[in-house]
Structure formats: structure tokens, C-alpha cells
A and B are shown apart, each in its own frame.
Chain A
């Protein structure tokens, strides 16, 4: 019979092949799903994966949606490597949007060139502040950061809802729960005519390079890696466990906050009750599919962004619910987890004795 046998060392090849196998498996599952829904699978898959990228605008949207996923994913991957499970990036992104948007509302009508950089800093700090709560609770009370960061991800949208329904509601907005439209000085200008892509995308790529340097060529990054592999080894080496927790959560929160700024100062241009369609949660999938490696995260965020666009295309052309995106995202992660078996184990044929 076939048996799983532990490999002496994790297979590097399997580690990088697993996401590709998972993608192939997801496409097969997707084809089966489309067939079950009465859609010709070939055409449906083409609509889902190819139609969104047919023109320049589509490619711009693809990279635009990949930006928050990439930013959140980079921060989360850094934390997951250090065994710090920040799964509340959604809340940190919203707080970043709130902090950046609050500044834009407070300086309404300003045309200072400093407003945009100040909003960016405010966004980063907002995300960091929200992530600092689980960090503080973990380091001072040993509270599990999974649950606290996630609970805060439920609190953040309520805070935003209160702001746009109450103090920050646009007085001329016909009572819609939304803020004023930000002024020119508070908006990022598109990089290319005819797209909505902003300079945050190349910035995110730069941050991926910085994350790679940090992970692989800095002493602090090394300490965090050791803590992730073995907490006991890190303690024995004298590396501060508290510092690892703080670094992981603050970097994760800051990246998510930057993504929140990029959304309100970019495509949205105002504060709305839904600033994010779940980018912070999808970034968990991005981090895992990207193998917790910056290059992988960049590629995974492009794939996940395509799933968002594919969901929209499927809604418009095939009359399927856009929620199909979530289904694809979940299936991708499941497929990856199944394929990951072969990183640490191999199948061996053994005769029944």
C-alpha cells in the first residue's frame, strides 16, 4: 500500500512546485464548479482569468488591486515566519484608511504638497497603532495574538461606520454614510493616463525588495527567523522574544496601514463604510501561497488580484455571484495545503506485511 514517509529534510523543489500544483488543482476545481453551474468550463475560465487583462485599463486595475494584497501579504509573511500570527490585517488596513482619511478631511481645501506625505505617514501609524494592541497584550499578558488581532478586525469596521455615519459624514452627501470627496492635494495621481494605477504599486515592489534584504541579510531578520523555527533556540541565543513580537506586528500593521492609505487616497478618494473587500484576510492566503517569501508574495498577490477581477467579470458576463472570488481563494489555499504534504513527506510503496 502507499504510505507517507517523512523526508530526511524538507524538499526545496516541492516547496516551490506546490503553489504551481495548487494553482493547477484550483483551475481544475474551478472548471468542475463552472460545469456544475451549467457554464461551459472553457469559456467560463477564459472569462475569469483572461478577460480582465484584455486592455491597458484592465492591466492597470490588476496591478492596482494587487497593491494592497502585496503590502498586507509582505507584512504578514514577515510575522508568520517569526511565528507571530497576526490575522487582523483587515482591521489595520481600515485604521490606516481612517487615519489618512481623517487628515484629508481635517485639511479640506488645503493645497499643500505636504498633505499627501503626511497622510501616508498617518496611515502607516494608524495601522501600527491597531497592531500595537495585540503586541502589547501578547508581550505583557501572554494573550494569543490570533484572537485579539482578529477581534480588532471586527471592531475596526464598526469604528469606521460610526465615523462616516456621524462626525465625518459629508454634510452635502444626501445622508449617505460617506465622507467628503478628498481635495486634489489629498489624492494620488495615476501613473498612466487611462488607468487608476498609482505610485504605491512600484513602492510596494520596492518594499518587497526591502523585505527580502531584511529577512535574508539583516541581523534582526535573522533573529526573527530563528524565533520562528524554534522559540527555545532563540531564547537560548539571547534574542528578545518580545522584540520579535513587536517587530512582526508593527511591520505588519504598518504595511496594512499603508495599504489603507493607498486605497482612500487612490481609487476611492473618500472614506466609505467598505474601504476594503477583505484584502486583509485575502492577504493571509497571499502570504501562504507566496511561501512567506517576498518574491512569492509579489507573485501570489498578482494571482489573488486576478481572482478579484475574475469574480467581477464572472458577475458581469456569466451572471454568477462575485462571491465566487472567495470560493476560489479558499480553494487555492486548501489545494496548497494538500500539495504541501510533499514538502515534508513522500509517498512510498510498501508491501502489506
Chain B
């Protein structure tokens, strides 16, 4: 047991950004919003969190700033897709590309700095100290699950994702609800980036997120839009990510570049296997996902 615990903790650490970003995107997609800009929002959140932490010396302020930066990036997506009625697919791609450019630009002065990282906190005597971000990701899972399936507001949000026209006819503020879902997704992505920048690495390099935003997007499909499967999937990917470090420690003579490919290849394989059950995907996908919706009156 005791020798497995550190491995479990590292897996949870690797899974945490995927949980934050994946749950945020899940809520957005449940409301019918497909935001492909996850990677960009994560990078903007990460660079903001690192810059603010580094300049102010406060990791809390940095983390909050990271989440807010994710929200601001998501707001850009919201204005374009909900008010300018832009193609959500193209807007998401634009956000992903813009996030890469913006974070590289802002982060140039921070490249060689290092932060202390977040110290694990002892919550209960007898249990190992726990990273607050990891704890936060578990709490977020509970909150998202409870909200979506055990509150009236969650039901309304899912109704908007299934049929915005019907929800609109019933008098629900479709655009407002989608705004909320988009901003929540931005906060999740921003937090995921903040975790990477101030706790997991903790430093800033260009392209810090290394495709985790796209993996989180795949995770939501893989999870067939169910929160607990996002959690399970994130731990699976966390395990694959950790494999590359432990593979070397175990003396496997595999070049590090090949081990580095593992998370991406695993994503492709899992997606391919999942997609063969296209019925499960079609039955669970929010019906209005990624469609432009415009209230006529």
C-alpha cells in the first residue's frame, strides 16, 4: 500500500488539470456550447496565474487571476458566438490559436523564473497531506454532478442543450444560461492552467499545457457527457502520462520521445474505440451541441 501511494498521488496530480478543464467543458457542452478553445483558455489562465503569482508573491491571488483570465477568454468566445452568431467551431479554433500567441507574448519575461509551488495540506491526522488543487478538483466534480442532476437549474441547463428553441418557448433565458455555461467552462480551463503553472510544474514555458486542453475535449466525448466518467477518464490519462516518467525509472529502453507520445496516442486509440459505439455517443450528446441558435423574437 505504502509504495503505491506516491504513484497514486502523482496520477491524481496529472489528472487534475484534465478534471478542471473537462468538467468546465462538460457543463458548457451540456448547455449546447461546443468551445474548441479549451487549450487557448488554459494557456491564458496559466500565464496569468504565473505572472500574478510571480509578481505579487501570492499563489492565491495568482490562481484567482488565472481563473478570471480563463473567464475573460471565454467571454470573447461568448460575445462572438452568442451575439455575433459566429461559427462556434471556427471561433473555438481562433481562441486556441490566439491563446498560444497571447501566452507566449505575455510570458516572455517570465520564462526562467520558478515558483515554490503549493504545499500539501494535512487535512486529517493519519491521512497523507493533500494538494489543495487535487482536493478542489474532487469537490468540483461533486458540485458539477450535484448541480446537473439534482437541481432544477441543472435540469434547465440540460434542456437548453437539448433544445434551445423549446426552452426559449417555455420562457427560459437561453442566451443567459449559455453565457453562464461558457463562463463556467472558462473558469475551469483557467483553473486547470493555473494549477499547471503555479503548482504542478511550477514554472512557465511556452506551450506549457502541451495539448492537455485538446485531451480534455476528447475526454468529454469519451465520457459520453457524464461527469463521473470524466473523472475516471482523467485518472486513466493521468496514469498514461505518469507511465512515461516511471518507464524510465523502471529501466525500459524506450526513447523519451516515444514515451512522450503516449498521452496523444492513447487519446486517439480511446476515441477510436469509443466512436465504434457511435450509438452511445449520439444518444448522449446534447442535441443542439455546436449549433448556432438565434432567437427570432
A→B interface (CB under 8 Å) = 4, 6, 85, 87, 133, 137, 141-144, 146-148, 150-152, 154-155, 158-159, 161-162, 165-166, 278, 281-282, 284-285, 288, 321, 323-331, 333-334, 337-338, 340-341, 344-345
Surface stretch bound by A, among B5-13, B117-125, B132-140, B259-267: B259-267
Closest to B271 in A: A143
Choose from A141, A147, A327 the contact partner of B217 (Cβ within 8 Å).
A147
Give every chain B residue within 8 A of A344 (Cβ-Cβ): 85
Given pairs A147-B268, A324-B101, A330-B94, 10 additional interface contacts (CB within 8 A): A137-B271, A143-B271, A143-B275, A148-B271, A151-B211, A321-B108, A326-B104, A327-B105, A337-B84, A340-B84
* B271 adjacent to A158 (CB under 8 Å): no
* B214 adjacent to A329 (CB under 8 Å): no
Highest count of chain B CB atoms <10 Å: which of A4, A147, A337, A341: A337
* A144 adjacent to B271 (CB under 8 Å): yes
Give every chain B residue within 8 A of A144 (Cβ-Cβ): 221, 271, 275
Given A158-B258, A159-B257, residue A330 in contact with residue B271 (CB < 8 A): no
Q: A143–B218 Cα gap in the complex (Å)?
A: 11
Q: A341–B258 Cα gap in the complex (Å)?
A: 44
Closest to A147 in B: B218
Q: A248–B202 Cα gap in the complex (Å)?
A: 41
Q: Mark B204-247, 1 if CB is under 8 A from A, else 0.
A: 00100011001101100100000000000000000000000000
Asked whether B80 is an interface residue with its Cβ less than 8 Å from the other chain, the reply is: yes
Q: Which of B94-112 contact A (CB under 8 A)?
A: 94-95, 97-102, 104-105, 108
CB<8 Å pairs between A and B, sample of 30: A85-B89, A133-B268, A142-B276, A143-B271, A143-B272, A146-B36, A147-B217, A150-B211, A154-B210, A154-B264, A155-B264, A155-B265, A158-B258, A158-B260, A159-B257, A162-B257, A323-B101, A323-B104, A323-B105, A323-B206, A324-B101, A324-B105, A326-B101, A326-B102, A330-B100, A337-B86, A337-B94, A338-B84, A340-B87, A341-B85
Given A142-B278, A323-B101, A337-B87, residue A151 in contact with residue B94 (CB < 8 A): no
Closest to A338 in B: B84
Q: A148–B275 Cα gap in the complex (Å)?
A: 12
Q: A289–B243 Cα gap in the complex (Å)?
A: 41
Q: A85–B217 Cα gap in the complex (Å)?
A: 15
Choose from A87, A137, A158, A327 the contact partner of B98 (Cβ within 8 Å).
A327
Could you tell me the distance in whole angstroms from the C-beta of B34 to the nearest C-beta in chain A?
10
Q: A4–B294 Cα gap in the complex (Å)?
A: 9
Asked whether B144 is an interface residue with its Cβ less than 8 Å from the other chain, the reply is: no
Give every chain B residue within 8 A of A158 (Cβ-Cβ): 257-258, 260-261
Given A144-B271, A162-B257, A341-B85, residue A288 in contact with residue B264 (CB < 8 A): no
Give every chain A residue within 8 A of B257 (Cβ-Cβ): 158-159, 161-162, 165
Closest to A285 in B: B97
Q: A257–B220 Cα gap in the complex (Å)?
A: 31
Q: Which of B58-91 contact A (CB under 8 A)?
A: 76, 80, 84-87, 89-91
Asked whether B177 is an interface residue with its Cβ less than 8 Å from the other chain, the reply is: no
Given A158-B260, A158-B261, residue A166 in contact with residue B255 (CB < 8 A): yes
* B97 adjacent to A333 (CB under 8 Å): yes
Asked whether B167 is an interface residue with its Cβ less than 8 Å from the other chain, the reply is: no
Asked whether B115 is an interface residue with its Cβ less than 8 Å from the other chain, the reply is: no
Highest count of chain B CB atoms <10 Å: which of A148, A150, A161, A327: A150
* A155 adjacent to B261 (CB under 8 Å): yes
Asked whether B93 is an interface residue with its Cβ less than 8 Å from the other chain, the reply is: yes
Give every chain A residue within 8 A of B206 (Cβ-Cβ): 323
Q: A32–B216 Cα gap in the complex (Å)?
A: 34
Could you tell me the distance in whole angstroms from the C-beta of A22 to the nearest C-beta in chain B?
11
Highest count of chain A CB atoms <10 Å: which of B102, B255, B261: B261
Closest to A287 in B: B90
Give every chain B residue within 8 A of A331 (Cβ-Cβ): 98
Q: A147–B93 Cα gap in the complex (Å)?
A: 12
The count of chain B contact residues (Cβ–Cβ below 8 Å) is 46
Q: A324–B101 Cα gap in the complex (Å)?
A: 7
Choose from B100, B211, B258, B278 the contact partner of A162 (Cβ within 8 Å).
B258
Q: A166–B90 Cα gap in the complex (Å)?
A: 38
Closest to B266 in A: A151
* B80 adjacent to A334 (CB under 8 Å): yes
Highest count of chain B CB atoms <10 Å: which of A152, A325, A328, A330: A330
Given A143-B275, A166-B255, A337-B94, residue A4 in contact with residue B267 (CB < 8 A): no
Highest count of chain A CB atoms <10 Å: which of B36, B97, B104: B97
Q: A270–B287 Cα gap in the complex (Å)?
A: 50
Give every chain B residue within 8 A of A329 (Cβ-Cβ): 97-98, 101
Could you tell me the distance in whole angstroms from the C-beta of A177 to the nearest C-beta in chain B?
11
Give every chain A residue within 8 A of B80 (Cβ-Cβ): 334, 337-338
Given A148-B268, A321-B105, residue A326 in contact with residue B100 (CB < 8 A): yes
* B102 adjacent to A141 (CB under 8 Å): no
* B268 adjacent to A334 (CB under 8 Å): no
Q: Mark B259-297, 1 if CB is under 8 A from A, else 0.
A: 011001101100111011010000000000000001000
Give every chain B residue within 8 A of A4 (Cβ-Cβ): 85, 294
Closest to B98 in A: A330
Given A152-B268, A333-B98, A334-B94, residue A326 in contact with residue B105 (CB < 8 A): yes
Given A158-B257, A341-B84, A344-B85, residue A141 in contact with residue B272 (CB < 8 A): yes
Could you tell me the distance in whole angstroms from the C-beta of B244 to the nearest C-beta in chain A?
11
Q: A325–B105 Cα gap in the complex (Å)?
A: 9
* A147 adjacent to B97 (CB under 8 Å): no
Choose from B84, B87, B97 the contact partner of A330 (Cβ within 8 Å).
B97
Given A285-B97, A324-B105, A330-B94, residue A151 in contact with residue B84 (CB < 8 A): no
Could you tell me the distance in whole angstroms from the C-beta of B253 to the nearest C-beta in chain A?
12
Give every chain A residue within 8 A of B273 (Cβ-Cβ): 141
The 6 closest A-B pairs by CB, nearest first: A326-B101, A330-B98, A323-B104, A162-B257, A337-B86, A333-B94
